[in-house]
């Protein structure tokens, strides 16, 4: 923000700009919007930020974010505890829940193995996953990491650790996205769609 703007506004715009996908122009617009808010709304906004940080912690079972002792999915008796879906982050849990088709539980890694970014397996919640499997009662691990280099490497790495523990390890299917167009589909996806073709 320009130096002739009020300093607290510049500081606030910089905070917004530090968020992912928010450029300096948008950050300035948001800072002005905060200025135009009623005082009570601005206070509620500031409190929501602090509340999110202080009240939310990782579920001791699945490592997903929760404000409860154990997250609602892990504490739900109707969920199938024998199937564990392993995902990169809480956003992936939200995405899979939106399908309303999965009734198992999750394990949130909080990242993917990425040696170039300095993220080694030690940074992820892999030991917690192995402990859950060793405690027994789990028959299948679904690797639901992104189809990226890091996602594939993490899935491979965890799969190799899990197999000796006498548990089935599966991977999400890859293929054409529903509503996708073959003409515009990249070669790798098309190759996967061909190899994973199914009987009609």
* Residues of this chain that bind its own copies (CB under 8 A): 1-2, 4-9, 11-12, 14-15, 18-22, 26, 28-35, 37, 39, 41-53, 55-56, 65-68, 71-73, 89-91, 93-94, 97-98
76-86: buried (b, 16+ CB within 10 Å) or exposed (e) per residue?
eeebeeebbbb
Closest approach of its own copies to the CB of residue 18, in Å: 7
Nearer to its own copies, 95 or 188 (CB): 95
Min dist. Cβ of residue 65 to its own copies (A)? 5
C-alpha to C-alpha distance for 105 and 102, rounded to whole angstroms: 8
Instruction: Give the CB-side neighbour count of residue 170, counting CA atoms within 13 A.
Output: 11
How near is the Cβ of 119 to its own copies at its closest, in Å?
13
Q: How far is the CB of 94 from its own copies (least distance, A)?
A: 5
CB of 4 or CB of 184, closer to its own copies? 4
CA distance 75 to 67: 13
We find the least distance from the C-beta atom of residue 188 to its own copies, in angstroms, to be: 26
Per the CB < 8 A criterion, the answer to whether 12 and 34 are in contact is yes
Q: Which is nearer to its own copies, 55 or 170 (CB)?
A: 55
Count CA atoms within 13 Å of residue 151 on its CB side.
Answer: 15
**Residue in 174, 152, 155, 166 with CA at minimum distance from that of residue 86:** 155
**Are 176 and 182 within 8 A, CB to CB?**
yes
Select 89 or 151, whichever has its Cβ closest to its own copies: 89
CB of 106 to its own copies, least distance (A): 10
Nearer to its own copies, 100 or 197 (CB): 100
* Closer residue to its own copies in complex, CB, 51/149: 51
92 vs 19, 75, 110, 131, CA distance in Å? 19, 19, 10, 22
């Amino acid at each position: 923000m320009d130096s002739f703007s009020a300093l607290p506004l510049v500081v606030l715009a910089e905070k917004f700009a530090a968020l992912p996908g928010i450029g300096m122009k948008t950050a300035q617009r948001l800072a002005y919007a905060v200025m135009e808010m009623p005082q009570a709304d601005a206070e509620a906004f500031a409190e929501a930020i602090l509340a999110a940080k202080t009240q939310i912690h990782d579920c001791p079972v699945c490592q997903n974010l929760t404000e409860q002792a154990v997250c609602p999915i892990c504490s739900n008796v109707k969920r199938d505890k024998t199937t564990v879906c392993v995902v990169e982050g809480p956003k992936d849990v939200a995405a899979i829940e939106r399908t309303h088709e999965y009734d198992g539980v999750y394990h949130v890694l909080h990242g993917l193995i990425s040696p170039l970014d300095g993220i080694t397996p030690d940074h992820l919640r892999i030991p917690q996953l192995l402990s859950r499997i060793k405690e027994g009662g789990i028959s299948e691990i679904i690797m639901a990491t992104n189809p990226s280099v890091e996602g594939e490497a993490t899935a491979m790495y965890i799969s190799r650790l899990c197999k000796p523990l006498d548990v089935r390890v599966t991977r999400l299917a890859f293929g054409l996205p529903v509503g996708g167009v073959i003409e515009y589909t990249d070669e790798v996806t098309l190759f996967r769609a061909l190899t994973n073709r199914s009987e009609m």
